[in-house]
Amino acid sequence: MSPEEIQQIYFLECEESLAAAEAGLAACRHGIDDPESINSAFRGVHSIKGGAGAFGYGALQAYTHIFETLLSDVRDGSVTITEPLHNLLLRALDVLSDHVLAARDGSSVPDDAALLAELEAAQAANHGAHAAAEPEPAAAESVDDGDFGIDFDDIMADLPLADSAAAAPAEGRWQVAIRPYAGAMCNGSEPLLMLRELATLGGECLRCDTSRVPQIDDFQLDQGYLDWVFTFPASVECAAVQEVFDFVGGDCALAFGDAQLPPLAPAPARTAAPTATSETGEADASPAPASSAQAAPAAPAAPSGASIRIDLIKLDRLIDSVGELVIAQAMLAQQVSALGHEASEAMALLESLTREIQESAMAIRAQPIGSVFSRVPRILRDLAAVTNKHVQLEVAGETTELDKTVIERLSEPLTHLIRNAVDHGIEPTEERLANGKSPEGTIRLSAEQKSGRIVIRVADDGRGIDRARVLAKAVEKGIVSPDAQLGSEEIDNLIFAPGFSTAANVTSVSGRGVGMDVVRQNVKELGGRIVIESEAGKGSTFTLTLPLTLAVSDGMIVEVGDQTLVLPLANVVESLRPGPGEVERLGVSSAMLNVRGSFMPVIPVAQAIGAGQPGSFDDGVLIVVDSEGAGRAALQVDAISDQRQFVIKSLDTHYRAVPGVAGATILGDGRVALILDVDSLVAGALGQSGRLAA
Amino acid sequence: MTTVRLPARCDRSAVQTILADLAAAIGADPVEIDATQVDQAGQALLQLLVAARYSGTGATITPSDALLQAARLAGLENELFSEVQA
């Protein structure tokens, strides 16, 4: 594994650590005395610090050091957590997130001077009081949970080194600190064998830290008490050293660094020299419990034992192959059937296995949506700073899983929706109070899996959409013609029109009319749909319905002329054969379908895609579809031949984008069928229905 | 002076017995650890020997070549085999 790859893993872990810290701090807010919550925040920050040192991100390391010192004091109970302090910790976390981004992208380091001063002031205020009340020696500072409650740099300075000259690596050499946890000595693993391998690579033991070894009466066999610092000539790559420890994974913490040792796991050190300890005969510091020491290995690249990281390209290749397998299986089934054989047991088994493999492969890519939801508190805090609107966030269903690609592309629309809800939905405090509402607004974010799709809701308890204002603005901007007669739903949908904004002033939050257009576009690109429900004075709910995966979808196979086409099932509302008088002609080429008293335009698909003249309405089938921009319409096709899963192949990649076509798929008989893009097909056929002028 | 003799193979289960022996032996009198037969040593043994040196009035260890090499590799040669400082 190359240093770049290790670095990438570090940044991935930073994201996880930030999310854990965020969750920990959020939990603190609700249960202020919960030690585990603050502990998880501390662990998150500490892990980031460990890697920062190893990779030489000085600014990040310096920042996290001060941040974690304060968190450590909060965790120990020597600093009481109050509302202002909680807010300070949250702000510090935001800046930490910026620091991580700066380190990752190589951009400029955020200005953290003022915040650092605040953090230090919060800690110093406590230390003054603490020291005056209870002057205790550093040696007595015990770590109740075995975590990193100690300023490691100080400990390093105090380490009992037999030869202080040996503390620094010789010129031209670099060093790595090694801490095997208890697990590294189990199951046939032996740290000394790894040290031997290091020696083979050219490594030399600079020192062995024995300060955690207890007296014999406190000695526990299942504990690792020794830390090593090994040095290597510059010609040895750190990847080679990392490789030696790949086998033990999280059971051994490593910290690479030339200049100084990055902090490692807890060391409630015996600060007195060994002689002094044996003279007093007292164990003045209890060793860290094995379980908690194991729980927080600080190695930058220590993967968790229960999972492995896989290159996304490899995964995509697997998914592609599985897609081909699905097609091949369908082809085989069709050919067997064409030969007149009855479906055999073996074919049924093959089909169920293929489906199983496909589902398992998709499950590998599935990730909990919580990774996107966890970014929302930060967005809300940033917005609160700009708009002065403080919003409570309620989250549900964050463990709902969906495809990684969907998750990644969901972040942007979700951010826009949250910003929109805060800026336009939630009223200022005075207005809320005047309307008999709580002073702080609430945004509810939820996700659930429903009939093979993911439903995400962003609901606010704000003022709801002011339809009169939206319509007036749309007319003013020329988005809609002044004489248009629009229903509530259609007016609501105007906020998705490009260039639409009701904001009086363009601010950093909103007003450029870009956001909601992007939301609809992004959701559409994901094969999803977005629906607005809004009630004046009560709030608005944006419901996003997304596919679980982008690779495979359900569709209706239809025949139009000599073409076989696929209609995504997500768009289909119902299919019917029109009865007498249900299709009313309007002029020569237009017709309307009357479905239980509701009229919608009929679009002959053959005409829309240029596949010849459509048949008569009496012979064909009408499929009622829901489209984003133009509402419901009835697509006229010749016949429906099947309904099944299909593997989506991008036309953009293999050919070029074609209006009205979302992609292609391969049918069981090997033929290629185009997948219809219902939204653009309907919008194109209706010429935007004459309602939307833009 | 009490002498604790270490077996040739000092794996984790052996170290468990050695720990019991050392805990019983270490007290007011110095302990001598005869490790001349040791041909297999790991971290478990090394750190136990360090603990023995720290405890009570300490311990003197007479190593085998294998133990000496293991201690050298781990940077514990001085820690384990220098004169008892107590």
> CB atoms < 10 A from the CB of A214, how many?
21
Residues 137-166 of A with CB under 8 A from B: 162
Spatial separation of the C-alpha atoms in residues A561 and A558, rounded to whole Å:
10
Q: Please give the structure tokens belonging to residue A647.
A: 């593997």
Residue A635 confidence (pLDDT): 92
Q: Write out chain A residues lying below 8 Å of B44, CB-based.
A: 185, 221
| CB–CB contact A162 B85 (8 Å) | no
Report DSSP state, residue A62. Answer: H
| Mean of pLDDT values over A285-304 | 36
- Give CA A568 to chain center in angstroms: 27
Spatial separation of the C-alpha atoms in residues A15 and A97, rounded to whole Å:
8
Q: Write out chain B residues lying below 8 Å of A281, CB-based.
A: 56
Grade residue A381 by pLDDT with cuts at 50, 70 and 90: confident
Q: Quick one: which H or E segment has residue A442?
A: strand A441-450
Of A26-35, A367-376, A429-438, where does mean pLDDT reach its minimum?
A26-35
pTM for the structure as a whole: 0.50
* Closest A-chain CA to B17: A221
Residue A74 vs residue B8, higher pLDDT: B8
Of A260-269, A513-522, A526-535, A576-585, where does mean pLDDT reach its minimum?
A260-269
Quick check: helix, strand or coil at residue A483? coil
Q: Best residue in A222, A229, A278, A280 to probe B by mutation, most B CBs within 10 Å?
A: A278
Classify each residue of A656-694 as buried b or exposed e, where b means 16 or more C-beta atoms within 10 Å of its C-beta. eeeebbbbbbbbbeeeebbbbbbbbbbbbbbeebebbee
Residue B2 has pLDDT above 80, yes or no: yes
Grade residue A306 by pLDDT with cuts at 50, 70 and 90: low
Interchain contact A216–B (C-beta under 8 A): yes
**pLDDT, tens digit, for every residue of A538-582?**
899 999 988 776 667 778 999 998 889 999 888 888 998 888 888
Residue A91 vs residue A300, higher pLDDT: A91
Instruction: Report residue A569: phi and psi, to 5°.
Output: -65, -25
Spatial separation of the C-alpha atoms in residues A435 and A443, rounded to whole Å:
18
Please say whether the beta carbons of A407 and A372 come within 8 A: yes
Residue A169 confidence (pLDDT): 59
Q: What is the CA radius of gyration of chain A?
A: 32
Q: Write out chain A residues lying below 8 Å of B53, CB-based.
A: 274, 278
**pLDDT, tens digit, for every residue of B25-54?**
887 678 899 999 998 888 999 999 999 988
Grade residue A502 by pLDDT with cuts at 50, 70 and 90: low
DSSP string covering A290-337, please? HHHHHH----TT---TT-----HHHHHHHHHHHHHHHHHHHHHHHHHH
Spatial separation of the C-alpha atoms in residues A373 and A399, rounded to whole Å:
10
* Closest A-chain CA to B54: A278
Q: Which amino acid is at A580?
A: P
Tell which residue, A574, A611, A607, A569, has the closest CA to residue A593. Answer: A574
CB-closest option in A184, A192, A275 to B74: A192
Tell which residue, A48, A25, A50, has the closest CA to residue A36. Answer: A25
- Give CA A502 to chain center in angstroms: 31
* Measured CA angle at A447 (ends A446, A449), to 5 deg: 150
Q: Please give the structure tokens belonging to residue A307.
A: 């999972």
The tokens 């007292």 sit on which residue?
A: A282
The residues near A106 (Cβ < 8 Å, ≥ 6 apart) are none
| Mean of pLDDT values over A114-125 | 83
Residue B12 has pLDDT above 90, yes or no: no
**pLDDT, tens digit, for every residue of A229-251?**
888 888 888 778 887 887 666 67
Residue A683 confidence (pLDDT): 81
Residue A452 confidence (pLDDT): 64
Spatial separation of the C-alpha atoms in residues A453 and A591, rounded to whole Å:
33
Q: Which amino acid is at B13?
A: S
Residue A239 vs residue A272, higher pLDDT: A239
Q: Which amino acid is at A153?
A: D
Residue A158 has pLDDT above 50, yes or no: no
What's the length of chain A? 694
The residues near A144 (Cβ < 8 Å, ≥ 6 apart) are A76
Report DSSP state, residue A285. Answer: S
